[in-house]
Structure formats: structure tokens, C-alpha cells
Amino acid sequence: MKTETKRGRPRKFDEDVTLDRIMLVFWRQGYAATSLDQIAEATGLNRPSLYAAFGSKKEMYLKVIGRFADQMQAHLHDAGLTASGLHPRLKAIMTAAIDLYCGKSSLCNAAYGCLAISTLTTEVADDPDFKSMMAHVVERMDQGFADLIREETKGLVPEANLRFTAQHLSLILHGISVRARTGESRTALQELAEAAVDRLVPETASQTVV
């Protein structure tokens, strides 16, 4: 399998870097309030190049949301590996999420909360494509927490209870995202999250959850 050199004029931009720049614009302003001119300015590209590479504004946004979900999942997964035991791992994940929501991550340096919660939620009521994307993102987050709990409690917790607790953890994170974007301090959110985890899962892994 040889690396066939592409014909035609080469691109002057990196697709991933560009998507990250587009992401930041949508993250700050939301979908509806963002114009293609702003995206063009933020990326250094002109509109025809943007359309050729990513399609319409809506497609750009959906691509960005999907990319964000991927990066978010990887980020939180990594954070969950820095500790051991259900309770400590959950706390590590919460901390990582709060840092990200408050602009303390490589992804974003402003307190914009979660991209999906902060901007996609608005568009959901009037557009089925956005709505199913939103449901997908939330479902992924629930799944992530469920997988972690399942792994750490190996059969000790009924699947139904486990999924329920996972939903509850997602819920907490969504609420924290809202407060992060509203301007609440990182330490205040950290306290809230810690208390929430303490109430949801026991300190020692041997106890039954829920």
C-alpha cells in the first residue's frame, strides 16, 4: 500500500487544527449567533475553502460537536486512569471535567462550560438533527460512567442501578457545566462535585452502590 501523492494544489491548512479553531468560536457564541465570516476570520480561511472542506455551517457545527465529544471522552477517560478504586476515579474525572469547563485545559482557556450543554441545548427544540445529536452525546456520557462503575464493581451492582447512578453523575456534570459558564468559581464547583460523588457512591469499593 503506497502513499499515493495527491494531485492538485495542496491545502494550506490542517483540517484538525481548523476544526479546533471553529470549535472555539461556536463554543463561545453558540451556533445561531456565529457567522461564517467569523469562522473564516478565526481560521484564516475563506468561505469557499470552508465549504469545500466541511460543508455547510450546520455540518461544521455537527462535526465540531462530534469532535468535542471524542476529545471530552478521551480526556475524562485518561483522568479516570490516574486513580484507582471507583470513588477516587470518579473524583478524578469530575475534577478533570470541571477544569475543562472552567478553561483550565488544553482544549479551551475560557470558562465556557461544556460545548454541548452550553450551545447545542438551545438548538435542540427546533431541529431534529441537533436533537438526536444531543441525545447521542448525553447517552455517550451516561455510557462512560456506566462502564466505569461496571468495571470497578464487577457484578456487585445490578445493571439497572448502575445505569441509574451513571445518569445521576452525568446530571451533576451538566449542572456544573451550566454554573461554570455562568461564572461560578472552580473551587466552588469542585466542592459541589465532591459532595455529589460522596453521596452517590461509597468511599470504599467493597460496599454496594445505591
Partner DNA sequence: TTTTTTTTGTACCGTATCGCACATAAATAG
Partner DNA sequence: CTATTTATGTGCGATACGGTACAAAAAAAA
Per CB under 7 A, 49 contacts DNA? yes
Per CB under 8 A, 171 contacts a copy of itself? yes
Phi and psi at residue 91, to the nearest 5°: -65, -40
The single residue among 199, 203, 207, 208 that binds a copy of itself, judged by CB under 8 A, is 199
Minimum CB distance to DNA smaller for 57 or for 87: 57
Minimum CB distance to a copy of itself smaller for 148 or for 209: 209
CA distance 47 to 37: 7
Minimum CB distance to a copy of itself smaller for 35 or for 82: 35
Angle at 62 between CA 53 and CA 64, to 5 degrees: 70
- Partner in contact with 6, chosen from a copy of itself, DNA, none, beta carbon below 5 to 8 Å by kind: DNA
| 131's grid cell | 436533537
CA distance 36 to 46: 9
- Partner in contact with 147, chosen from a copy of itself, DNA, none, beta carbon below 5 to 8 Å by kind: none
Per CB under 7 A, 170 contacts DNA? no
CB atoms within 10 A of CB 55: 12
Q: Is residue 146 within 8 Å of 86, Cβ to Cβ?
A: no
- Partner in contact with 13, chosen from a copy of itself, DNA, none, beta carbon below 5 to 8 Å by kind: DNA
Minimum CB distance to DNA smaller for 13 or for 164: 13
Angle at 195 between CA 109 and CA 171, to 5 degrees: 65
> How many residues touch a copy of itself (CB under 8 A)?
44
Per CB under 8 A, 68 contacts a copy of itself? no
Specify the stretch interacting with DNA by CB under 7 A; choose among 38-46, 126-134, 150-158, 197-205.
38-46
Give the footprint of DNA on this chain (CB under 7 A): 4-13, 34-38, 45-49, 51-53, 56-58
